[in-house]
Amino acid sequence: MHPPKAIVIGSGFGGLAAAVRLSCKGYRVEIFEKLDAPGGRAYVHRQDGFTFDAGPTIITAPQLLEELWTLCGRRFADDITLKPMEPFYRLRFDDGSWFDYSGDEATMRREIARFNADDLPGYERFVVAADQACRLGFEELGGMPFNSLSDLLAAIPSMLRMRAWESLHTLVARHISDPKLRVVFSFHPLLIGGNPFAVTRVYSLINTLERRWGVHWAMGGTGALVRGLVGLLEARGVPLRCNAPVTRIEVSNGRATGVQLANGERHEADVVVSNGDAAWTYRHLIDAQHRRHWTDPKIERGKYSMSLFVWYFGTNRRYEDVPHHMIMLGPRYRELLDDIFKHHHLADDFSLYLHRPSASDPTVAPTDCDAFYVLAPVPNLESGTDWPENAERYRQRIQRHLEATVLPGLGAHIVTSKLMTPQDFKDRLWSFRGAAFGLEPLLLQSAWFRPHNRNEDIDGLYMVGAGTHPGAGVPGVLMSAKAMASVVPDVRH
Ligand SMILES: Cc1cc2nc3c(=O)[nH]c(=O)nc-3n(C[C@H](O)[C@H](O)[C@H](O)COP(=O)(O)OP(=O)(O)OC[C@H]3O[C@@H](n4cnc5c(N)ncnc54)[C@H](O)[C@@H]3O)c2cc1C
C-alpha cells in the first residue's frame, strides 16, 4: 500500500516546514510553488553581483528551525552558520539620537539610563510582564492548534490574568515614562505587521524571545535557511515544483481531494495544506459553496495588516558607520501608525528599517561594496494608492532622507536597484489586499478567531503560514506548521 499523499501549496517558511513535518510523519509530499524559486517572502533576488534577501532578516528562536533538522536526523549546525547580532539593532530617532538595543543586560541598562534613569525600575517590571507573556503566548499556546472553542475557553483564564485585552503600548506606557523609551519597547510588533497601539500585550513576548535566544543572522543570508530546508526535503525525496501556481483546491463531499494548476493539470491528494495567503486561498481557490466559516463577506470584513514598500539597492562604496539593522524613526509615531492602520492613508513622512547585511556578511556584496534594503511600513491596498505611478517618487523621497541622515552622497554610489510595493505583494505573492503579513494580529483575529490550522469546513484541508494561527514572522509560521502537523492524522503502517 502507498503511503497517503499530501500536497503543500506554496514554499514559504510555513510551507517548507509543513512539508518536512508531513514527510517525517510518513506522507508522500509534493510542493507546488507559484514563483520560479522557493522562499515566498524570503525569496532571494540576485542582481549585479549583490544578494538581496527579499524579506525576513532578523532570525529569532532558532530552536524552531533546529527542530526540523533534528526531525530529519540531521544537525542544523552542519548546514547553517548563525551569527549572533550584538547589538540586536539600533533605533535612530528623528533628532539624530539613537538607542542600541542589546541582548546584554548591562548594556541595556546603560542605554536606558542615557535616556531616563528613572525608567530603570519600570523596565524591570516590563521584563517580568514580557516573560509572563512568553510563557503563555509562545510556550503554552503558540504551537497549539486552536481548533475548537474549548481550546479557546481553556486559554481564557490565563489571558484574563495577564490582561490580554490591553495593548502592548498601554503595558509599556504603564511602566515607562520617557517618550523615546516607550517607542523602543513597543515597536516590535511592527516586525510582524502589528500596530503597537492595537496588538495585545501578549506580543511583549518578542522582547523575551530576543533576550532569551538572541537575534541572529544566517550567514549567506536568510536564503541559506530556505536552501537548507529545501536540502532536507530533497534528501527525503520530496519534489518541489516551481512555476506551478495552484488555481483551485478541489473539494468533493466535504473533503479536499486535490488541486488544479494554472496549466490545467490536476493532482489528487489525501491531504492538502495551503501555505498561500489564508484570505486569498479561501477567496480564490475554494468555491464559496464549500465555505461556511470563511465566507466572502467575512473575508471582505477582515482587517488586514499593513503592507511594505521595499527598496533593495547596492552601492559601490561601504558605509562602515551604519550597523547591520537600523530602525529610523520619523517625526511621528502614533499618528503615522494611525495613518497606516486606521486611515489607510499614504503619509508624507515615514519610519524606515534599514538593512545592511554586508556589515556582517561579505558574501552578499562585491568587494568594497554594500548591499542594502530599506523598507517603509505603508498602508495595504485599501489606501487606493496607484503604486506603479507613485513608486519612483516615493523611492526618491526615501533616498533624499537617507542622504540627509545616514548615507551621505548615496545617489552617486548606487549601482543596482529594485523595488517591491504593496501591488507586488498582491500580484506576485497573491496576498489579499497586498498585505505584507496577512490578517492583522488583533485579539479578535487571533488564536481560535484566526483561520484554523485544520480547516473548519473541509476535511483533509489544512492551513499554515502568516494568515493562520499563531501568525506572521518566521517563528510564527514555523509554529503554524507544528500546530498543523499535530492535527493531521497519523499514517497507519
Ligand atoms: C520585507 C519583509 C521583512 C520581514 N522581516 C522579518 C524578519 O526580519 N523576521 C521575521 O521573523 N519575519 C519577518 N517578516 C515576516 C516573515 O517573512 C513572514 O511572516 C513569513 O516569511 C511568511 O511565511 P509564510 O509561510 O506565511 O509564507 P510566504 O513567505 O508568504 O510564502 C507563501 C508562498 O506561497 C506561494 N503561493 C501563494 N499562493 C500560491 C498558489 N495558489 N499556488 C502556488 N503557490 C502559491 C507564494 O508564491 C509564496 O512563495 C518579514 C516580511 C517581509 C515582507
Measured between alpha carbons, how far apart are the two ends of the chain, in Å?
A: 9
Which pLDDT does position 148 carry in this prediction? 81
* Residue 286: closest CA among 243, 323, 251: 251
Residue 431 Cβ contacting ligand 1 at under 6 Å: no
Residue 239, number of CB atoms within 10 A of its CB: 12
pLDDT interval class at 140 (50, 70, 90) = confident
Residue 18 Cβ contacting ligand 1 at under 6 Å: no
Rounded to the nearest whole angstrom, what is the distance from the C-alpha of residue 10 to the centroid of ligand 1? 9
CB-based contact 259:57 (threshold 8 Å):
no
DSSP of 367-426, one letter per residue? TT-EEEEEEEEE--GGG---HHHHHHHHHHHHHHHHHHTTSTTGGGGEEEEEEE-HHHHH
Residue 13 Cβ contacting ligand 1 at under 6 Å: yes
Q: Which atom of ligand 1 is nearest to the CA of 472?
A: 19
* Residues constituting the chain: 493
Answer whether residue 377 shows pLDDT above 80: yes
CB-based contact 373:221 (threshold 8 Å):
no
Answer whether residue 20 shows pLDDT above 80: yes
Answer whether residue 59 shows pLDDT above 90: yes
In this prediction, residues 292-320 reach a mean pLDDT of 97
Rounded to whole angstroms, how far apart are CA atoms 278 and 283?
9
Which pLDDT does position 89 carry in this prediction? 96
Residue 7, number of CB atoms within 10 A of its CB: 25
Which pLDDT does position 70 carry in this prediction? 98
pLDDT interval class at 151 (50, 70, 90) = confident
Query: Which grid cell is 167?
Result: 495593548
Residue 479 Cβ contacting ligand 1 at under 6 Å: no
pLDDT interval class at 447 (50, 70, 90) = confident
Which pLDDT does position 155 carry in this prediction? 82
What pLDDT digit, counting tens, does each position of 159-205 carry?
888 888 999 999 999 999 999 999 999 999 999 999 999 999 999 99
Residue 327 Cβ contacting ligand 1 at under 6 Å: no
Rounded to the nearest whole angstrom, what is the distance from the C-alpha of residue 175 to the centroid of ligand 1? 34
What pLDDT digit, counting tens, does each position of 233-278 carry?
999 999 999 999 999 999 999 999 999 999 999 999 999 999 999 9
Rounded to the nearest whole angstrom, what is the distance from the C-alpha of residue 477 to the centroid of ligand 1? 9
The percentage of the chain sitting over the pLDDT mark of 90, rounded to a whole number, equals: 92
Residue 32 Cβ contacting ligand 1 at under 6 Å: yes
Residue 229, number of CB atoms within 10 A of its CB: 28
Residue 9 Cβ contacting ligand 1 at under 6 Å: yes
3-state secondary structure of 309: strand
Answer whether residue 154 shows pLDDT above 90: no
In this prediction, residues 209-228 reach a mean pLDDT of 97
Residue 466 Cβ contacting ligand 1 at under 6 Å: yes
List the residue whose alpha carbon is closest to atom 12 of ligand 1.
473
List the residue whose alpha carbon is closest to atom 13 of ligand 1.
56
Which pLDDT does position 168 carry in this prediction? 96
What pLDDT digit, counting tens, does each position of 307-344 carry?
999 999 999 999 999 999 999 999 999 999 999 999 99
pLDDT interval class at 44 (50, 70, 90) = very high
In this prediction, residues 39-45 reach a mean pLDDT of 98
Rounded to whole angstroms, how far apart are CA atoms 434 and 396?
22
| Residue 80 Cα distances to 37, 67, 77, 282, 485, angstroms | 20, 13, 5, 35, 24
pLDDT interval class at 61 (50, 70, 90) = very high
List the residue whose alpha carbon is closest to atom 53 of ligand 1.
55
CB-based contact 310:424 (threshold 8 Å):
no
Rounded to whole angstroms, how far apart are CA atoms 51 and 128?
40
Residue 59, number of CB atoms within 10 A of its CB: 23
Counting ligand 1 atoms within 8 A of each CB, the residue from 9, 41, 242, 453 with the most, and so the one to mutate, is 41
Query: Which grid cell is 397?
Result: 523621497
Answer whether residue 1 shows pLDDT above 80: no
The percentage of the chain sitting over the pLDDT mark of 70, rounded to a whole number, equals: 100
What is the residue-averaged pLDDT of the chain? 96
In this prediction, residues 454-468 reach a mean pLDDT of 97
List the residue whose alpha carbon is closest to atom 49 of ligand 1.
40
In this prediction, residues 106-118 reach a mean pLDDT of 97
